[in-house]
Structure 1
Amino acid sequence: MSVFHFQQFSVRQQQAAMKVCTDATLFGAMAPVAGGERVLDIGTGTGLLSLMLAQRGIASVTAVELDSAAAAEAAFNFRSSPWSDRLQVLQADIRDYAETAVAAFDLVICNPPFFQDHSKSPDNARRLARHNDSLPPADLLTTVDGLLTPKGLFHLLLPMHAVESVVALAPSCGLNLRCRTNIRGYARNKPKVAALVFAREEGMLLQRTLTIYREERIYSPDSQYYLSDLLLRFAKVNE
């Protein structure tokens, strides 16, 4: 059985099309939680982002997942965590959920399908997780616009090749880019993904680059700052 252990929780990922990775973990760790009482996790997969936000004190996290096997696995991970009373997973299309949602969210977070067209995988679950066929960017942004509180924030992780088109589309869906963090493995590498933060209001754009490793498999100070309360390798340091 494939299980990834963190300091305070574990993630079973036997059914997961997309496994726990450093990019996604950093993405969840960077999301600010101040003022966020209600959080929505779109396409939760294993439930990783929801679990991380619950650990950081969010009072209520709703995770929505289209794939039934992934939703069942996320539910297992939630029940096995110390915050089961604050986490719930719903197996649904986010567009259908949005039509019946009774309250808006302070923070919406999403690590969506990364790949399109030319790189389709033969495995159906992996294809669903890797392609935006099931949830085109315009549908995602419009849906988020309808679910976000007036002062709410939308956090989105994207591959670099998809960033510009989504950023250009966002204003027509009521969202404006306020922060962009390009994430690269080493200082010598080009960034492969970007963590984006959108808000309803226009304002100054904060841009930065985060380097994961300072040398071979040794985390940079920035990475350690975000991951020190999560990864087991930092557990003894925190004691």
Structure 2
Amino acid sequence: MSVFHFQQFSVQQKQSGMKVCTDATLFGAMAPVAGGERVLDIGTGTGLLSLILAQMGVASVTAVELDPPAAAEAAFNFRSSPWSDRLHIVQADIKDYAEAAVDVFDLVICNPPFFQDHSKSPDKARRLARHNDSLPPEDLLAAVDGLLTPKGLFHLLLPMHAVEDFAALAQSRGLNLHCRTDIRGYTRNKPKVAALVFTREAGVLMRRTLTIYREERIYSRASRYYLSDLLLRFATVNE
């Protein structure tokens, strides 16, 4: 599907290596947004997360994307949305952007390339999007550390096998895991990914498990809570 339609916006996804999926959409909808935040979206791809956060009421989003075709596609999606004045695309390596940046952000969000040491796709765009060769954890954390406000939040999606090592590395840089949501498809499944929120302030870790479906093609109450304002299947219910 080259275009994915949501209730209030659409995502063209011909060029980006990572297409719209339930995990990414849910992750974006779970972002810790109160309204009015300045947001940095690292590795925006199609711009999906930026668009979701714009709908949620953030003040502005700066979306950084390394791959030129994906950045161009995100720019198109931004221009086509109701929030074009709040969405800004930067085609750059996040390391270079962080070195030159003068702005800091209340919220940094990232669905990073995390398939390190797995077999690689022959498609260059998909390979860039799915492997961390271009964005090792150390480089990601260094960028976040320099771009996050003192009371800012870092929202990250990781596969389960990467969570513990990343959290330990983040803590060594003064970013503490504040909230962890393990996400599974059904109650019979083990979680495959976790949505993580880091803060500079130390505190008690809040942890939970979120199940996407209660049965085949039927969303759970928890996932529906987050997705009901986004997915077209819920549009008639919300009218």
Percent of pairs identical after alignment? 85
TM-score (norm 2): 0.98
Task: Report the 3-state secondary structure (helix = DSSP H, G, I; strand = E; otherwise coil) of the residue aligned with 1:117.
Answer: coil
Deviations 1:116-168 (A, max 9, x none): 12321111111111111101001101110110000000000001111111011
Q: Is 1:20 aligned to 2:20, yes or no?
A: yes
1:213 is matched with 213
Distance 1:157 1:6 in 2: 21
Q: Give the distance between the partners of 2:156 and 2:37, measured in 1 at CA.
A: 19
**Aligned residue identity for 1:234:** F
Give the SS at the match of 1:118. coil
Q: Counterpart of 2:11 in structure 1: which amino acid?
A: V
| Other-structure match for 1:204 | 204
- Quote the residue 2:84 is aligned against: 84
Name the residue aligned to 1:223: 223
Secondary structure at 1:177's aligned position in 2?
Answer: strand
Q: Separation in 1 of the partners of 2:50 and 2:139?
A: 22
Structure 1 residues 36-76: Cα deviation after superposition (integer angstroms, max 9, x where no partner): 52000000000000000001111110000000000000000
Residue of structure 2 equivalent to 1:116: 116
User: By how many angstroms is 1:35 displaced?
Assistant: 5.5
Counterpart code for 1:185? G
Inter-partner Cα distance in structure 2 for 1:104 and 1:133: 26
Q: Within 2, Cα distance between the matches of 1:126 and 1:173?
A: 30
- Provide the residue aligned with 2:5 in structure 1: 5
Matched, 1:50 2:12: no
**How far does the alpha carbon of each residue in 1:171-203 deviate from its partner, in whole angstroms, 9 at most, with x for none?**
112211000000000000000000000000110
Q: In structure 2, what is the Cα distance between the partners aligned to 1:111 and 1:183? A: 14
Mapped to 2, the partners of 1:151 and 1:118 lie a distance apart of: 35
> Does 1:176 find its partner at 2:193?
no
Residue 114 of structure 1 and its aligned partner are, at CA, apart by 2.3
Structure 1 residues 36 and 155 mapped into 2: Cα distance closer, same or farther (>3 Å)?
farther
Structure 1 segments, 4+ long, off by >2 Å, are none
C-alpha distance in structure 1 between counterparts of 2:86 and 2:219, whole Å: 31
Q: Quick one: distance in 2 between partners of 1:5 and 1:114?
A: 26
Task: Provide the aligned length of Structure 1 versus Structure 2.
Answer: 239
Q: Which residue of 2 aligns with 1:64?
A: 64
| Cα deviations by residue, 1:82-134 (Å, 9 ceiling, x for unpaired) | 00000010000001111111121000000000211232111111111111110
Deviation at 1:4, TM superposition (A): 0.2
Residue aligning to 1:159: 159
Contact persistence 2:7–2:229 (CA under 8 A) = yes
For 1:36 and 1:213, the matched residues in 2 are separated by 31
**TM-score scaled by structure 1?**
0.98
Q: Which consecutive unaligned segments of at least 5 residues does structure 1 have?
A: none
Match of 1:186 in 2: 186
2:232 equivalent in structure 1: 232
Cα pair 2:35 2:58 within 8 Å, conserved: no
- Which residue in 2 is equivalent to 1:150? 150
Task: Verify: 1:195 aligned to 2:202, yes or no.
Answer: no
Q: Equivalent residue of 2:118, what SS?
A: helix
The answer (yes or no) to whether the contact 1:138–1:173 under 8 Å persists in 2 is: no
Q: Which amino acid aligns with 1:124?
A: K
